[in-house]
């Protein structure tokens, strides 16, 4: 298992992307400390959910709940 910490958010981001996550399996996503409970691979994320698109290495957040300035996002993943 690997861990990736994204740089502090500028604020307003609705997604994050990393080449390290391309074709990986996302095991956990922590936003500002608490774990996001549901990791989806289809459909739009709602509330505290995230949608992970492995082919792009992209994590989408609920557009109604964007990242706030200085918020940290950390993920646990397994590369393929």
* Confidence band of 76 (pLDDT split at 50, 70, 90): very high
Q: Output the pLDDT for position 33.
A: 79
Has residue 22 got a pLDDT over 90? yes
> Which structural domain, as residue segments, surrounds residue 7?
2-78
CA angle 6, 11, 17 (to 5 degrees): 35
Would the CA dihedral through 70, 39, 14, 54 be positive or negative?
Answer: positive
Q: Which pTM was predicted?
A: 0.93
pLDDT digit string, tens, across residues 24-55:
999 999 988 777 779 999 999 999 899 999 99
Total domain count, the chain: 1
């Amino acid at each position: 298992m690997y861990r990736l910490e994204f740089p502090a958010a500028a604020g307003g981001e609705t997604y994050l992307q990393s080449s390290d996550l391309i074709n990986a399996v996302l095991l956990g996503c922590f936003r500002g400390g608490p774990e996001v409970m549901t990791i989806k691979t289809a459909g739009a994320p709602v509330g505290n959910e995230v949608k992970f698109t492995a082919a792009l290495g992209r994590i989408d957040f609920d557009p109604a709940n964007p990242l706030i300035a200085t918020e940290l996002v950390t993920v646990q993943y397994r590369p393929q």
